[in-house]
Structure 1
């Protein structure tokens, strides 16, 4: 068999298969691009996009009401400032696509470093792109749900390099530490990376002297982690009460009260969470990854030439397994539960698939590669109803939602006579930004601070710049806004529309009657440019 594989015809056939595989990946990535760029605007993006557009280093919590760790608004805000683009949603969606590409390149780098073969990289990429959960809002919107994935994958890659069997590489371990902090700084749910990476540097490889493991691996990782977290530590030191009021206490206190009285459908009990987890992890690409994780070891254990052979798993496999398990546990912590909370284990399961393929590279490779390719093909087939329309959308940029929303809002703004930089009151601030309006800080976080503001304890009120549903009329009457923007999709926006109609605002619509609307009233230039009262 080996001799046949080396014949020119066999080599040519293998090259053709690789070309076909590469073509498929290019097409499915194009389908992904089209889907991301044409995905509808979601309420979560109003928080991340708007705060990013208005962010400086220290105003995220003191002024804008941001409630996550700060690396996403700092990153996206820097992109806005460097590019000078006013296509806020489009630029944010392009950042998400860049994160997808970086994640795929990370999987490729791990596969090459482990000499695991092209088939497992192709399968892992297909299983990533074909994951139905990631093709929904978690992987298509400008939020912090997907962006930590490439940071986590590359952190694992640099740890593999830093803990090389030949000799430890402190610089690579330090880079891994930086990337762990970046992943956590994008989304706090990934905090479990830090202790598990640290434990790995202390415990592995066992044949290395403990002093080397502590000094050249663990210490280097810790230094990198501190450097990566330093901006957050500086921000916390400058105002700890403000920081924790907007992050920790927001989710553990105000958000919990809001959902306890909300009539929206929600998943709260353990039984409901288990059913949601089953729908996410026990179907589609996630289930196929789990199948691969069982099949690859079984192939090695069942080798005909070594029926009694045992499977030797190195520390990277155990680390990937521990990370996957912790990702699963973390997914059940928040209440209520949403599908995006079940993303964390996905990258580590894919890494585990690559790592398990590596030791079987010389053992029945044709069977293993065939299984892997089949898993990838099935994943792509299951996601075809999402990727195929995305491929059609990709070649029609004029129809991308990320562009048409901008054009529609600019058109309304021109017809209404809105000047660039005027204030626009809204709970859908991305629409106001796209219209060329300036968003008051009370609404920079969209509805996420506004809807919990009535539940703020007295001690935390000084740390918030906001109004609330019960104080909205007073807020608007104190300084009537020149423009009110609504999406028409949220019941919470109804008081804004009622206020506009009662006070004689003129309504402007776009091409879709059920789409966004802009309400405008004629007032003096001084009033237009006045900031609403807090």
Structure 2
């Protein structure tokens, strides 16, 4: 009987422990599904931004026009071709939806990469989930940077994968050549989407010459530097091809525009509603607001706590605490953090989305430090991680759950309303019998309605508004017009309609043309956006 009494408690406890584990895993699965669904709804309901007038139109324009040559585009080609490919793959004529879906897929890739790489470094599924959840709840990622169909978020998953795989590949005695090649591929792909992502390449390139420390220099050249360079060359092909085919045209769009007309425009203009920072002090203040938001402050606090804990652990035989904690992989991540932070401060003006790249270093830093701790120390710190994550989730819950009510009403989503607005414009123009292109600085609307736009205005106001600051030599490489020349362009090819009402200053020459030529205003279009209430001016019927 005594033997039975001794065994009975363990038989009762085991199912209870299993049930507790099962319930905790089920809770994580349910919470993860809710987070992803909330993220999708937020993406589809986020109000359209002016930058999307540049990034979304190529989804349709690339069917018939050539990038850079036939229309203005002031960034590397990655986002244009990705959005176009996603739109063609799903067969949707909802342009903004295709662009936002592309960003959501980038989110999925980012979170999957965080989970996989963090788990490889920590061997803890719970910690990996916490790190991914802290990334989802970052304030910057839940605003224009991660919600609009632009190129701001797209490079981040690839930069993270490249940096993470490189760290995994060189932390052992023998480098993993395949992982290093994929790391080089992903780091180059990040720069294909946004040129500022090159900030992650120098620290990795330098580390390739130094890690693993146990290898001879000749072996590093063969097994680390060579595959990294080969992968980088393949990943960089989407940039290298247009650069080699027409170097002057490519550089005029991607480099010279930003250092010339764009810079001059922002030095003289004061655009309302824009969060630009021009001076160094303004940039630092903007960076402080972004990097030390609720989620950012929690992650930084966790990093410092892990760093202090690691330093307090007993030193390994033959190694000092400093050399054990500040190892090669952690220094690579620290170098990437410094380089990307410095790059964030370089452009003038700076916008909030420019400060996103350093944030991808934080998950890797957390994983490396946590993985370096002794098992019993990890067990003690795990509740701290979970508690901090829950606090951040509670703080960000209102923002994440903001659009849950639209889950069963996709007709109310921003992406749907924008498409229906384009269709309504098309129907209004057809009913009026107005023939010709649609002139507007908001080309997404007519393109959603399968209407033709002027190539000079096909990617929004960006080349148009900087025309007075664009030298004649540089302007020869752009398909553009200007406020002074737009009336002559309309005289040569009269618009069937003008869609105005989004920017009173920039649209004034277009409005003057419409009034001067008797275009008939139509104001009851049934939609508006954050930039204004549109008015459609229809060409009068011939007398």
Please give the TM-score of this superposition, normalised by the length of structure 1: 0.91
Secondary structure at 2:107 match in 1 = helix
Using a 3 Å threshold, how does the CA distance of structure 1 residues 232 and 377 change in structure 2: closer, same or farther? same
Give the match for residue 328 of structure 2. 315
Secondary structure at 2:71 match in 1 = coil
Using a 3 Å threshold, how does the CA distance of structure 1 residues 371 and 186 change in structure 2: closer, same or farther? same
Give CA deviations for 1:236-277 in whole Å, capped at 9, x if unaligned: 111111111112110111111111221226421111111111
Is 1:451 aligned to 2:465, yes or no? yes
Give the match for residue 441 of structure 2. 427
Give the match for residue 403 of structure 2. 390
Give CA deviations for 1:159-211 in whole Å, capped at 9, x if unaligned: 24433525323222111111111101101111122222112222111012222
Secondary structure at 2:485 match in 1 = helix
Task: Identify the match of residue 233 of structure 2 among 219, 226, 232.
Answer: 226
State the Cα distance separating 1:489 from its structure 2 match. 5.3
Distance 2:64 2:422 in 1: 29
Distance 1:182 1:139 in 2: 18
Give the match for residue 281 of structure 1. 291
Give the match for residue 245 of structure 2. 238
Give the match for residue 101 of structure 1. 108
Is 1:365 aligned to 2:378, yes or no? yes
Give the match for residue 420 of structure 2. 407
Give CA deviations for 1:125-150 in whole Å, capped at 9, x if unaligned: 12111111111101100111101111
Distance 2:245 2:467 in 1: 24
State the Cα distance separating 1:381 from its structure 2 match. 2.1
Is 1:122 aligned to 2:129, yes or no? yes
Is 1:475 aligned to 2:494, yes or no? no
Using a 3 Å threshold, how does the CA distance of structure 1 residues 235 and 438 change in structure 2: closer, same or farther? same
Q: Is the contact made by 1:32 and 1:391 (CA closer than 8 Å) also made in structure 2?
A: no
Is 1:256 aligned to 2:236, yes or no? no
Is 1:41 aligned to 2:48, yes or no? yes
Secondary structure at 2:506 match in 1 = helix
Q: Is the contact made by 1:280 and 1:342 (CA closer than 8 Å) also made in structure 2?
A: yes
Task: Identify the match of residue 215 of structure 1 among 219, 222, 225.
Answer: 222
Give the match for residue 271 of structure 1. 281
Q: Is the contact made by 1:486 and 1:493 (CA closer than 8 Å) also made in structure 2?
A: yes
Give CA deviations for 1:216-238 in whole Å, capped at 9, x if unaligned: 11110001111111232121111
Using a 3 Å threshold, how does the CA distance of structure 1 residues 486 and 366 change in structure 2: closer, same or farther? farther
Q: After the TM superposition, which residues 509-520 of structure 1 pair with which residues of structure 2 at under 5 Å, given as runs?
A: 509-512=524-527, 515-520=533-538
Q: Is the contact made by 1:510 and 1:517 (CA closer than 8 Å) also made in structure 2?
A: yes
State the Cα distance separating 1:350 from its structure 2 match. 1.5
State the Cα distance separating 1:7 from its structure 2 match. 4.6
State the Cα distance separating 1:287 from its structure 2 match. 1.2
Give the match for residue 339 of structure 2. 326
Is 1:185 aligned to 2:192, yes or no? yes
Distance 1:234 1:305 in 2: 51
Q: Is the contact made by 2:127 and 2:382 (CA closer than 8 Å) also made in structure 1?
A: yes
Q: Is the contact made by 2:103 and 2:146 (CA closer than 8 Å) also made in structure 1?
A: yes
Distance 1:461 1:360 in 2: 58
Distance 1:147 1:375 in 2: 27
Distance 2:186 2:473 in 1: 35
Task: Identify the match of residue 338 of structure 1 among 348, 351, 355.
Answer: 351
RMSD: 2.6
Q: Is the contact made by 1:122 and 1:373 (CA closer than 8 Å) also made in structure 2?
A: no
Of 157-166 and 365-374, deviating more is: 157-166
Q: Is the contact made by 2:333 and 2:361 (CA closer than 8 Å) also made in structure 1?
A: yes
Distance 2:407 2:434 in 1: 31
Give the match for residue 165 of structure 1. 172
Distance 1:309 1:19 in 2: 43
Q: Is the contact made by 1:178 and 1:227 (CA closer than 8 Å) also made in structure 2?
A: yes
Q: After the TM superposition, which residues 135-174 of structure 1 pair with which residues of structure 2 at under 5 Å, given as runs?
A: 135-163=142-170, 165=172, 167-174=174-181
Q: Is the contact made by 1:425 and 1:484 (CA closer than 8 Å) also made in structure 2?
A: yes
Using a 3 Å threshold, how does the CA distance of structure 1 residues 112 and 88 change in structure 2: closer, same or farther? same
Distance 1:318 1:56 in 2: 45
Secondary structure at 1:114 match in 2 = helix
Task: Identify the match of residue 361 of structure 2 among 348, 363, 373.
Answer: 348
Q: Is the contact made by 1:273 and 1:337 (CA closer than 8 Å) also made in structure 2?
A: yes
Of 383-392 and 97-106, deviating more is: 383-392
Distance 1:131 1:490 in 2: 35
Secondary structure at 1:43 match in 2 = coil
Which runs of no fewer than 5 residues in structure 1 stay unpaired?
Answer: 525-534
Distance 2:414 2:93 in 1: 15
User: Relative contact order: is structure 1 or structure 2 higher (C-alpha 8 Å, sep ≥ 6)?
Assistant: 1
Distance 1:154 1:274 in 2: 28
Q: Is the contact made by 2:165 and 2:179 (CA closer than 8 Å) also made in structure 1?
A: yes
Q: Is the contact made by 1:38 and 1:401 (CA closer than 8 Å) also made in structure 2?
A: yes
Distance 2:130 2:280 in 1: 33
Using a 3 Å threshold, how does the CA distance of structure 1 residues 521 and 324 change in structure 2: closer, same or farther? same
Of 144-153 and 110-119, deviating more is: 110-119
Q: Is the contact made by 2:86 and 2:102 (CA closer than 8 Å) also made in structure 1?
A: no
State the Cα distance separating 1:76 from its structure 2 match. 1.4
Q: Which has the larger radius of gyration?
A: 2
Is 1:441 aligned to 2:455, yes or no? yes
Distance 1:421 1:52 in 2: 24
Of 412-421 and 471-480, deviating more is: 412-421
Q: Is the contact made by 1:506 and 1:520 (CA closer than 8 Å) also made in structure 2?
A: yes
Of 107-116 and 74-83, deviating more is: 74-83
